[in-house]
Amino acid sequence: MPKNVVALLLMVFIAMTSCKDEPKKEVKEASTLKTEELKPVEVKEFGYTLKNYLVVRDTIKAGDSFGEILQRNNLEYPQIYNIVEGAKDSFDIASLQVGKPYTLLCTKEDSLQRPKCFIYQPNSIDYVVVDFADSTLVKKGKKKVKLVEREASGVINNSLYVTLQDQGLSPIVAYKMSDIYAWTVDFFRIQKGDRFKVIFTEKYIDDSIYAGIDKIKAAYFEHKGESFYSFRYETDSTKHIIDYFDENAKNLRRAFLKAPVQFSRISSRYNLNRRIAYYGNRVRPHKGTDFAAPIGTPILSTANGTVIESARRGGNGNYVKVKHNGTYTTQYLHMKKRKVHVGDYVKQGDVIGWVGMTGNTSGPHVCYRFWKNGRQVDPFKQDLPKAEPIGDSLKVKYLDYIKPIKHQLDAIVYPSEKTSNEEEFLTELNQQNAISDNQSN
């Protein structure tokens, strides 16, 4: 996740404190799913039948070592030494982390109930078994992860985060959505009334323990009345290149246009050491890039964003400033005429004004300024996100793949449109939507 997205989400979090007048009815749906009970007669875990052992569960404490844990549980040193020696090639016993859970399977056959097996869980999915019932054996395993597909929708009243939270959904869905839409929708300027729909998968361990959000499969976002679809798609299965594309196979991560005017030439580049004869050959840094073009040539916004300034002022003349996201802002100077107002939402390539000679300029051009985190930089030296489109050969396959998913998205209703019967039906449908076993990322 890029840094700017993290920063942006922090803002979303900060904005979360107030306003919770959305009905709480969805919470029930989420918790029903999580508390599904599973009580088989013979419980197997980590590949062992638990009823054959005395099971000791604990977490690693500060100062604990593998040897001490075994010693505390009635093993003695020559044997501990042998276990450590036997395990050390396949398990780094120094890697035990404070707070992580471990399990000891102890024999019921002697009064000391000595352990036969040590199981360490570095995370909720992976585990390491050190079995010393006979000789020492180390096995690594993963808990069975079941993916459950879910749907959600909402109308934003405050922030995406709060809207999801009111439905009992993880903030990670908000994280992931703002990551997907980082180049399309400015989440700082999300509006009351913006709406979204999302299809995502959740992970459940051993069929019952919620283990977080897996991934967003598809989403729909309506911002200021504009529709933005996104579908997760793997464009290269050998390199595992996965990206989100819209309904026309366009990449959601849009790069900036190279220039704000077509058929132009660069007459002056970003140059911090520029010297100008007119000013006695003194250094007059040029923090913009000048594109010379005939008067009246349309000036295009180089990326999607919101107009934050549109004015005529001093040396800038007629200018427009567009904020694209938490990181990038662009500015266009010396316009003959401006076409947009403060607050307008513009898409990449939209005309925002026309080339002119207003302000300090010796000829018709647009001075293009590029701001990153509040500092003017050279757009040609930035490592801007690439927007690889789906290749022609894959496009047909992609459009075929998204067809049913788009139908599914379109069929999701907003909470306000749901009747209580529909809700129950959807809950059931969600629960039946367990799509695959034993899969994880």
- Cα of first residue to Cα of last residue in the chain, in angstroms, is 16
Smallest distance, Å, CB 438 to Zn ion? 59
- Could you tell me which of 260, 219, 262 has the C-alpha nearest to residue 346? 260
Task: Quickly count helices (H) and strands (E) in the chain.
Answer: 8, 25
Taking the least distance from each CB to Zn ion, the nearer of 143 and 365 is 365
User: Residues 340-369: x/- map of binding to Zn ion (CB under 5 A)?
Assistant: ---------------------------x--
* List 290, 320, 354, 430, residue binding Zn ion (CB under 5 A): 290
Handedness of CA 70, 71, 73, 75 (dihedral sign): positive
- Could you tell me which of 197, 185, 226 has the C-alpha nearest to residue 8? 185
Site for Zn ion in 20-49 (CB under 5 A): none
Taking the least distance from each CB to Zn ion, the nearer of 169 and 320 is 320
- Could you tell me which of 367, 336, 358, 355 has the C-alpha nearest to residue 274? 367
Asked if 223 and 190 count as a contact pair (C-beta separation under 8 A), the reply is yes
Residue nearest to Zn ion (CB): 367
Smallest distance, Å, CB 423 to Zn ion? 57
* List 260, 288, 305, 356, residue binding Zn ion (CB under 5 A): 288
Smallest distance, Å, CB 166 to Zn ion? 48
The residues with which 207 forms a beta bridge, in sequence order, are none
**CA 375/CA 329 separation, integer angstroms:** 9
Smallest distance, Å, CB 312 to Zn ion? 16
Site for Zn ion in 131-150 (CB under 5 A): none
Taking the least distance from each CB to Zn ion, the nearer of 154 and 288 is 288
| Residue 331 binding Zn ion, by CB under 5 A | no
The residues with which 276 forms a beta bridge, in sequence order, are 282
Where do runs of H (alpha helix) occur along 166-294? Answer: 171-180
- Total of residues contacting Zn ion (CB under 5 A): 3
Stretch that binds Zn ion, among 1-9, 231-239, 289-297, 376-384 (CB under 5 A): 289-297
- CA 106 to chain centroid, in Å, comes to 43
Smallest distance, Å, CB 276 to Zn ion? 12
Tokens standing for residue 156: 């934003």
**CA 38/CA 204 separation, integer angstroms:** 12
Asked if 355 and 297 count as a contact pair (C-beta separation under 8 A), the reply is yes
Taking the least distance from each CB to Zn ion, the nearer of 22 and 290 is 290
Taking the least distance from each CB to Zn ion, the nearer of 241 and 311 is 311
Smallest distance, Å, CB 13 to Zn ion? 39
Taking the least distance from each CB to Zn ion, the nearer of 288 and 356 is 288
Smallest distance, Å, CB 333 to Zn ion? 7
**CA 15/CA 178 separation, integer angstroms:** 15
Taking the least distance from each CB to Zn ion, the nearer of 69 and 367 is 367
For strands 115-120 and 434-436, give the pairing: unpaired
Asked if 4 and 182 count as a contact pair (C-beta separation under 8 A), the reply is yes
Stretch that binds Zn ion, among 59-67, 150-158, 288-296, 414-422 (CB under 5 A): 288-296
Taking the least distance from each CB to Zn ion, the nearer of 326 and 364 is 364
Smallest distance, Å, CB 349 to Zn ion? 22
Taking the least distance from each CB to Zn ion, the nearer of 88 and 274 is 274
DSSP 29: H
- Positions touching Zn ion (CB under 5 A) are 288, 290, 367
